[in-house]
Every structure is written in C-alpha cells, then in structure tokens.
Amino acid sequence: MFQVRIHGRGGQGVVTAAEVLSVAAFREGRHAQAFPSFGSERTGAPVVAFCRIDTRPIRLREPILAPDALIIQDPTLLHQVDVFGGLVPAGYILINTTRSFEELGLEEFMAKFPPDRLCTVPATELALKHVRRPLPNAALLGGFAAISGQISLEAVSAAIREKFPDKVAEANVAAADEAYAYVRREMEETQRAQAG
C-alpha cells in the first residue's frame, strides 16, 4: 500500500487533491481511498487529507501516520505544524514553493532523505498562470505523478476532467502538465548532480 498525506490550509483544495488522486489511481485499476481530517476550522486553518493506493481492497480507515509521500500545499505550515511527522525513511516530499529546501531552512533535515525523492514546485504560480486562481492542487498532483511514479499524468488529467467542468478542467490539466514537466526537469538535474 502507498500512503499519501496532503497538508494545506482550508480553501486551497487539499480535500479535492486527495479525491482527485484517488480517482486517478482508481482509473489505473487500483483500489484507492481518500478522506480529510479537519474540524470546524475556517478558511486558512490547517487541513490534512489522506489518500491510500493499493492493488488490493483497502480496509484501513484511520489517519495516515507513516506516509510514503507528503504533498505540502502551503509552505507556511513547515514551521507551524509537524508536517514531516512519521514520514518513512525513503519517502517522497513535494512542496509548493518557489524557494529551495535550503532557503526554507530545511537543508539539514532533508539530508536524511534520498535527494531524488525531494522536490519543490511553484504550484501556486502555475495555478495563477493557468487557472487564474491560487489553487495549487492540480499542479501538485502533476508534480506528484512526476516525482513518485505512483500514477500517470494521463490518469491525473482524466481524474481532473472527471471532477471539474470543461474550461476549469482544461486549465487545471494545463497546470498539472506544466508542473509534471517542471518536476521531471528538477529530478533530472538532481540525478546529474549526483552522478557528477
């Protein structure tokens, strides 16, 4: 089973991201489960959503405490909430930001993880460019497809088209496509740096 935890703030589409990710996995013939964890918080309050993907039926219903991947939609949470809690040693980390891990003050922490499983992507900027709103969820799912290989970009695009009406869907697909390409480039640079 592959488990994903998504951190963000209310109004950023955290729950929608988990739902779309589960639909993408389902479209590829796997079992999936998505659910949020929040109370009666208002817009802007921290929100966590979970997604499990497996080849067999999923019986678990509890929150994900040891994720295989983290998608962090809002980098302001990095020093407010324990977003990295429980992450498996070879886990994936994808953060929505224009800054590097060093600029975020995470260089020492990130040294514990494989460099090819860590990436930042300017998802909010890509959303503003394509969707005209600061909703980074679709772009982050494109980036997640690129870094993890757990789902295909085609499945993400199909799930987005299933969730949103035509124009909105195509704008989100464009954001996901560009984020996918961005993360692939970042990963190739990381691999070159490791080899050289």
Per DSSP, 13 falls in state: -
So where are the chain's domains? Answer: 2-195
Helices (H) and strands (E) in the chain, counts: 6, 6
122/139 Cα distance (integer angstroms): 9
CATH of domain 2-195: 3.40.920.10
CA 1 → CA 4, 14, 43, 174, 190, distances in Å?
A: 10, 21, 32, 29, 27
132/41 Cα distance (integer angstroms): 25
Q: Are 155 and 28 within 8 A, CB to CB?
A: yes
Q: Are 3 and 54 within 8 A, CB to CB?
A: no
Q: What is the dihedral of CA 44, 128, 180, 136, to 10 degrees?
A: 10
7 sits in which H/E element: strand 2-9
Q: Are 53 and 75 within 8 A, CB to CB?
A: no
Q: What is the pLDDT along the chain (196 residues), one digit of tens a residue?
A: 999 999 999 888 899 999 999 999 999 999 999 998 866 556 778 899 999 999 999 999 899 999 999 999 999 999 888 999 999 999 999 999 999 999 999 988 888 888 989 999 999 999 999 999 999 999 999 999 999 999 999 999 999 999 999 999 999 999 999 999 999 999 999 888 888 7
- Strands across the sheet containing 118-121: 31-37, 46-54, 2-9, 69-72, 92-96, 118-121
DSSP string, 16-28: HHHHHHHHHHHHT
